Every structure is written in C-alpha cells, then in structure tokens.
A and B are shown apart, each in its own frame.
Chain A
Amino acid sequence: MFPIVLLSVFAVVLLFLGFLKSRSVLLPATLLFLVAALVANFLDWNKTYLYFNSMLRTDNLSMVFTAIVLLSSFLVVALSGSFEDDEAAQPAEYYAIILFSLVGAIMMIGYENLVMLFVGVEILSVAMYILTGSDKRNLRSNEAALKYFLMGAFATGIMLFGMALLYGASGSFTLAGIASYASHAQQGLSLIFYVGLLMLLVGLLFKVSAAPFHFWTPDVYDGAPTIFTAYMSTVVKTAGFAALLHLLAASFTYVYSFWGIILAVVTAITLIAGNVTAVYQNSFKRMMAYSSISHAGYLLIGLAALSAQSRQAIVFYSLAYSIATISAFGVLMLVTRQRGMQTLSSNPLSNESFDAFNGLAKQNPLLGLAMATSMLSLAGIPLTAGFWGKFYMFSTAVERGQIWLLVVAVLMSAVGIYYYFRVIIAMYFRDGATEPIRISPVFRYVLVAAIILTIGLGVAPGLLQGLF
C-alpha cells in the first residue's frame, strides 16, 4: 500500500522536475523514487492488512509481486538513458507515466474488489497506450498505439461486462462475496455467473496476451519504442498474472471444474501459437513479441493447474522471465542504436533482424554473455533461472495430473530452443564486421546484474523460498 501513495506523489514531483533545464536529474531521481517505493513496499512484511475499506490488501505474496514489478521497472528505467540525448523525447513525462502506471500495476496485484481491479487495469493500460505512441513522428509507433488502444479498450469492455454479470449473479464486487456465492456450486449457480466469469477471464487474458486473444501483441511490441516494449512485456504481464492468480485463487476455486479445462485449452493454444509463430520471424523484436506470448502460455500452466505450487511457480517464473526479457531488450537497444546509424539509408527493419547480432560476442563479450544468458533463461536451460521457472510450472501441472498439457509444453519448449538459439548462433558463431559497441556504465551495471541474478537463481533457486 505504501508504494501506491509514494509513487503517486513521486510521479507528480517528477512532472515538476521536468520544468528544470537539465534533464540529467530525471533518471537518477526516478531510480531513487523506485528504490524508495521498493523499500516502503516491505514495511508491511509478514503482516496482512486490508486498506481503504477492504479495497486493497497487502500480504507477502502481493508484496513479492510488487517487488518484482518495481525491480523490473527499475531495470528498465536504468536502461533508458538515451532520452537525455533525444531532443524530441520528454523524459519527465515518460518517467511520470511509468510511475503512475506502476500504481495501476500494484492495484492489480493487491485488489480485493473488482472495482480496484478495473481501475488498476485501466491506469496501467492508459499509461501504456501513451508510452506506446510516444515516438510521435514514427508511423509504426502511431500505428501500434492505435491498435493497442482499440484492442485494449475492447478488452476492457468485455471484462466490464463480465464483472457486471458476476455482480448480477452474486450481488457483490468483493472477492470474498463472489467466493461465498460460488461456494454454493453444488446447488447450481446461475448461468450469468459462468458467462460473467468467462468474460472477465477473456478480458484479462487479452491483457496478458494469451491466445486466441494475442493478435495485437506482435504489432504493438514491434511498433513501440524498444524501451517501452521491455516495460510492457514484463510489468504488464507480471501484474496481469498476479491479478489472474489472485482472482482465481480467492474467488473461483469452487468452480475449478468449469474454468480449469478452459484455461488448460487456452494454455495449449497459447503455447503452440506463440512458439510456432516465433520460429518464422526474422525480426528479433517481433520474435521477442511471440516469445512473450509463449511465456504467457507457460505462466498459464500454473494458473490452469492452480495447485499448491502455483503461487510460487508464478512468482518465480515472472521474475526469471522479467529479468531475462529486460536484459535481452537492453542489448537489442544498444545493437540497433549502433548499427542503425550505419545502415540509416537501408531498410530500418534490418537493424532489428537476427543478422544485426552477427559476431556480437566477439566484439562485445559482455553483451554477448548478457544476451546468451537471457536467451538460455528464456529457453529454460539449466544453470539459469528460467529452467527452475519451467520446472515449477511443470510440477504444478503434474500435481494436477494434466499430463497432456505437459507434453504440449515440453514439445513447445523444444521449439522455443530453436529460435532462441538463432540469436546465440548469430552472436557467437557467425562473423560480423563491426567495431565494438560503446556501453555506458549504467548499461554495464544493469546487464551484469541481470546475468548474476539469472545465473544465481539458476544455481540456487531456494533463495527465493520462504519469502511468502
């Protein structure tokens, strides 16, 4: 709860800092604010509170999710140094919007009432529409913003209709009220309850880009400025899954037999759609978009099983995924900036293709290592955090006995290795004739931190245990 208050205040402060002549104060200030919020987040540690007339709740699980979201945004913001040099950029606004959007994300994590879920989703989404379109003169960015906006608003409408139906059936917007209504599942529930649940799920699955509601994702991720793509694909996804997990675990465990199989099918479709399509991409950024769809699929395994392990599994997976994704996008930004200058005349898309990474590891061992670590982690190879993420996910499904789903997931992991390794092959085994890329110190710290976190969690996954 403290982070919500702090971040709201800090965001306003940041807007005022934007009046200053010097832009160089913005980045450190934002990082400082994020650290402050992260510290404040843990003030309630080991206690469970309800805030604002039982609208929001903090417990260890929500604090851990909040911490992941804050950590991800810290890393993303740290990588955003290039705004200082860009005349057209408005870093004060961007940072303020990021902080505001975090408020929404935290509301999605800790809501106890569907109103808060709705408000949280909207704060986060509206902020994302703006950030997606922030490159105003770039038509690709414009287009992505419009698509994201129209699709997002559409999904919100569906979600709201679902909420209204749930309210009509159960007479309450609180999770506890809905749960107590659902607990009479034996006597039979009204039809609108099930329809409402389904529509609410569709709305949320839309936000986390699960198939078949994923078609907006590649375009939006591709068109948005890379730094905000990194933000979207980590923070929005983590918050969305925290919201889904909380919703299903708190209110709908009684009707698992209804939605369990639906989610399992959605999971399988998501895994197949994400992984298979990613194979055919030539642009790294677009590949990452499809990869993010496929990771939504892996995260959904934990939801579709909703077993005792699910909380832990989703926490671990979203952390591993966020770190790896941010460092991958960080390297991509450096590569496109460098090689984009060289190939200005040619197709602007080409500097995001896999070929842009050719020989990278020889010129820049650190960039190569950071990218390789995150690709290995995303592919779920042991020694990296991603492996344990997948491991936890698979165990939840085994606990539920969904072996068929696991077989799909395993086959798709093998497919995933194919496209993640294209990057590694390009970096390590192919030759590219370019001079080394200059890396600013902040980038270096972030990438090293990401490598250490990924491998550290991969070797000692027990570290996160007992946190919640």
Chain B
Amino acid sequence: MLTLALILFPALTACLLLLTNSGTTRQLAFGAALIETALAIYAFSTFTPNATSQFGFDYPWIPSLGIRLSAGIDGISLLLTLLTGILVPLIVLSTFNRAYERPGTFYALMLFMQSALMGVFTARDGFLFYFFFEAALIPIYFLAAMWGGANRIPVTFKFFIYTIFGSLFMLLALVYLYYQTPATTGSAHSSAIVDFYKLKLSASAQGWVFWAFFIAFAIKMPVFPFHTWQPDTYVESPTPATMLLAGIMLKMGIYGLIRFILPVTPIGIETWGQTAIILSVIGIVYGSIIAIRQRDMKRLIAYSSFSHVGLMAAGVFSQTETGLQGALIQMLAHGVNVVGLFFVADVIYSRTDTRQLDQLGGITRTTPKLTVYFMIIMLGSVALPLTNGFIGEFLLLHGVYSYNHYLGLAAGFTIIFGAVYLLRMFQKAMFGPTTARTESFADLTLSESWVFVPLVVLVFWMGVYPQTFMKMTEPAVANLMKYIGTTAISMK
C-alpha cells in the first residue's frame, strides 16, 4: 500500500496545484514533495533487506488479458524511489528564487513527473512499466518546451520523438514476451515481469528482444550513438527540468537494463553484450573528451553525465555482481551529484546571466558557501575516495575490468577525464580574476543553501558509510545474479 501512496500522492496533489496560480503554489508543491520524501524515507528505513518485493499492491487492470496494476518495492527499486523522493523537493526548492509563468502548471507537471517516475521504478507488471515509462515523458516534455530557452521547440521535439521511437520498440518486445508466457488462472497470458523471467526464449528471439529493449533504454540513458538529443535538450530545458532529466529520468534507462534485459535475455547478452559494452565505453571516452572542450557549464555537465551513464551501462552489461551493485549505488550518487552541479550552474547563471566559462571567474572571493558546496559536489563527481562517487565507480570499474581488462582500462578514463573537465570547470568559474559579470556576485540565499545541504550530507554519507545503502540492495542483486546464471545455463 505504501507504494500506491508513493505513486498516487504526487499526482493527486498535482491536480490540486493545477487549480492554484498564486505565489503560494511553490510552497504547496514543496510541502507535498516533502511529504513524499518522508514516505520514501519511511519505505527505505522499514525495508527488510531481502530479495522480496515489499509494500506492494496488486489489482486487476485489464482482467481478460491478465494485465494487472501491480507494483512494489524490491532491493533494485528501493534506492531509486529514495532518490526520486529526495531529489524532487530539492528541485522544487531550487526554483524559489525564480518566478516561472503559470506556476500552477509548472509545479503540477513536476509532481506528475514524480508520480510517473515512482511508477516506473516500482511497477511489477510489464505493461504498467511501459505505461509509466511513457507517461513520464509527457510532463517533462511540456516542462522543457514551455519554459525552456530560445531554441526549445525543435530541440525538445527531437528529444520527444527520439525517446518515443525507442520505447515503441520496447512495447513490441513486451507484447511479444507477453504472448510467450504460459496461461495463468483467468487469462491466457500474464504480463508480470517475474513471469517474463521464467521464459525460455530461443536464441534468435532473445537477440531481437535484446535489441528492442536496448534501443529503448539506450536512447533514454543515453548511450552512444543514441545520445544526440541529450546535450541540446539539457541546455535548452529550464534547469529544474534538466535536473529531473539528468538526476532521475535517465536512471529509468539503467533501471530498465537491470530489470528487463539482464534476466529476460541472458543469451541475447551473451551474443550482443560485448557490442553494448563497447558502445558504452565509446560513450564514456567520447563524452569525456567533448566535455573537456565545452565552454558552456550546462553543456559541460550534460556531457559529463553522458559519460558517467556510459560507465553505469557498461557495469550492468558486465553481468558481475560488483558491476550491478556499483550501478545501483552509482545511480543514487550520480543523481545527487548531477543535480548539485546543475544547480551550481543555475545559481551562477541567475546572478551573471551567463554560463560561458570564459566570462566567469573569481567567484570564490564573495561566496564562501557556494565555493564549499560546489567543491564537495564536484569532488563527489570526480569520485574522490570518501565521497559518494568513489564507491560506485570503483565497483563499476571492477565489474567492467573483470569482464574484459582492456575495456575496463578504457572505462577507467572516466575518472581521469572526469577530474580534468570538472576541475577545469571549477577553476575557470571560481578562481582567477573577476570579470564584469562576476564582480558583485552575491553568496547563496537561505533557500539555495538548503538545496545544497542535503546533497552534501548524502555525498559524505554514501562516501563514508555506503553500507547503509549497499546492504539494502545486496540480496536483490544476488537474487538477480542467480537468475542470470540459471537461465543462461539451462539454455545451453
């Protein structure tokens, strides 16, 4: 039942917000998001660390087809629901110094988005997953296209077409899987995800199902060469939408890899997994190199995110326990870091009206608070030990390395390059002589500081004591590994 509350509560409050259009809208939205956070934290703290799905609900949806409204939280979902729960109020809070036109619609769309994201991460039915997967796209599209930058219309449209196009293939694969399932009581087939796991598909079927899923998720994440929508969309979207996109929405892709591709198509991975890893590693290196050359802060962060996601995808495809574990932890860490970085860019932009690194500099002089927070989050992204990025990237690299040494080595560039472009960004923006734009740079306001505080706490918490999070996911990952092992062996 808790899951139902997590999914429905934001949507219901969003409907109420649509009716308001006053100055208090954002406070209401923030309050609603905080309640959702409390629910997510409650779920996290009362979660029993085992492989079962908890807090669930299960109702018939289309009875004659055996499609059910079924959702619950297991170890793989848990961290992502937590991430969604924590980030959304911070994103709402980050808008407090901005005045957006038609705030009722703006915040309602954000909360609708949160509902859909919660649904994606908790769905236990294949079609319910797809339903939320697509439903999440509509609010973010409107957010980006209504409040975005000058070039927003073609850019967001490209994003929309791209992602819909990918997910249509996923729909094909889901329908196909559905018709492969054996009869259940009351209907001819079942669309429960666990029933998909039990399928014994032929090698060729697994091949195309793998690609159908992979294209959908690869576009979402994005993985090279499906990434061309991403930088422009991140830059043109209003920053809250960018945070939602980068912080939470791209995790849908990784989550999908873990939830569907790994257990459903083990042979498909055996055949094509190497291609997928190579694509991911190309993305890592390519994204990093481009990030080094960027002058626009937002674009730089966008490419860094692209590069980091490649590492997560590679870790998942390594099919090792450490790789999976690392991907789960890194999803949380990356969400925290990237939202922090985008917020830094937004704070700087709101004061100087520019994101070009050439026009910035010397901000540290007047801003002790911003400097400290920026530094911590940046170091988290660089994956310095004792910060959150370290543990995830270490596990991921370990996984990729044990899959293939050379690929692991190539993926290792992410840390070196990451340090290069992030430190460069930090140095260019914060140190050096002040420019005309940064002369009278005011330090963080109270609400801005309160966005950073929880993020910084999480950076250290995950870096120093990751056990809090790891122990929740371990049983589920072990369970998943067992699935991969058995299905693969029984097919041989």
Which A positions have Cβ atoms within 8 angstroms of B?
312, 376, 381-383, 387, 391, 394-395, 398-399, 403, 406-407, 410, 413-414, 417-418, 421, 425, 428-430, 460-462, 465-466
Contact = CB atoms under 8 A, between A and B. Distances in A.
Contacts of B61: 460-462
A60 to B, nearest CB: 14
B131 A382 contact: yes
A236 B63 CA distance: 31
A381 B164 contact: yes
A382 B169 contact: no
Contacts of B134: 381-383, 387
A394 B171 contact: yes
B47 to A, nearest CB: 28
B161 A465 contact: no
A428 B179 contact: no
Best-surrounded residue of B127, B157, B168 (most CB of chain A within 10 A): B168
A428 B146 contact: yes
A406 B137 CA distance: 23
A421 B160 contact: yes
A465 B175 contact: no
7 contacts: A382-B131, A395-B65, A406-B172, A410-B169, A410-B171, A417-B161, A460-B61
B401 interface: no
B161 A382 contact: no
Interface in B146-168: 146, 152-153, 157, 160-161, 164-165, 168
A425 B157 CA distance: 9
Contacts of A466: 63-64
Contacts of B65: 395
B391 interface: no
Nearest to A410: B168
A421 B157 contact: yes
A238 to B, nearest CB: 22
A381 B179 contact: no
List 10 tightest A-B contacts by C-beta distance, closest first: A382-B134, A414-B165, A410-B168, A462-B62, A398-B175, A382-B131, A398-B179, A382-B135, A429-B145, A429-B153
Interface string B55-72: 000001111110000000
Given A394-B172, A398-B179, 16 more contacts: A312-B64, A376-B138, A381-B134, A382-B130, A383-B134, A395-B175, A398-B175, A407-B172, A410-B169, A413-B168, A414-B164, A418-B161, A425-B153, A425-B157, A429-B152, A466-B64
A458 to B, nearest CB: 9
Contacts of A383: 131, 134-135, 138
Contacts of B172: 394, 398, 403, 406-407, 410
B256 to A, nearest CB: 15
B168 A414 contact: yes
Given A417-B161, A429-B145, A462-B62, A399 B179 contact: yes
Interface residues of B, number: 32
A425 B164 contact: no
B179 A465 contact: no
Contact of B161 (A387, A403, A414): A414
Contacts of B64: 312, 465-466
Contacts of B135: 382-383
Nearest to B156: A429
A428 B139 CA distance: 13
Given A417-B161, A462-B60, A381 B138 contact: yes
B178 interface: yes
Interface in B99-157: 127, 130-132, 134-135, 137-138, 142, 145-146, 152-153, 157
Contacts of A410: 168-169, 171-172
Interface of B: 60-65, 127, 130-132, 134-135, 137-138, 142, 145-146, 152-153, 157, 160-161, 164-165, 168-169, 171-172, 175-176, 178-179
A425 B145 contact: yes
Contacts of B132: 382
A399 B181 CA distance: 12
Contacts of A382: 130-132, 134-135
Contacts of A403: 172, 176
A381 B142 CA distance: 14
Residue among B62, B132, B165 with most chain A CB within 10 A: B62
Nearest to B153: A429
A425 B127 CA distance: 28
Most buried by B among A387, A406, A462: A462
B168 A428 contact: no
Contacts of A406: 172
A431 to B, nearest CB: 11
A465 B62 contact: yes
A369 to B, nearest CB: 10
A383 B132 CA distance: 9
Nearest to A376: B138
Given A428-B145, A428-B146, A429-B146, A395 B179 contact: yes
A418 B151 CA distance: 18
A391 B146 contact: no
B160 A417 contact: yes
Contacts of A430: 153
A418 B161 CA distance: 7
Contacts of B165: 414
A418 B157 CA distance: 8
Contacts of B168: 410, 413-414
Contacts of B160: 417, 421
A462 B142 CA distance: 28
Nearest to B60: A462
Between B132, B142, B172, the greatest number of chain A beta carbons within 10 A of the residue's beta carbon is seen for B172
A406 B171 CA distance: 11
A398 B132 CA distance: 22
Nearest to A412: B168
A427 to B, nearest CB: 11
Contacts of B179: 395, 398-399
Contact of A391 (B138, B142, B153, B171): B171
Contacts of B138: 376, 381, 383
A462 B128 CA distance: 13
A395 B67 CA distance: 13
Looking at A382, A383, A460, A461, the one whose CB has the most chain B CB atoms below 10 A away is A382
B174 to A, nearest CB: 9
B63 A465 contact: yes
B123 to A, nearest CB: 12
A333 B376 CA distance: 58
B195 to A, nearest CB: 16
A231 to B, nearest CB: 30
A430 B168 CA distance: 28
Contacts of B164: 381, 414, 417
Nearest to A459: B131
A395 B178 contact: yes
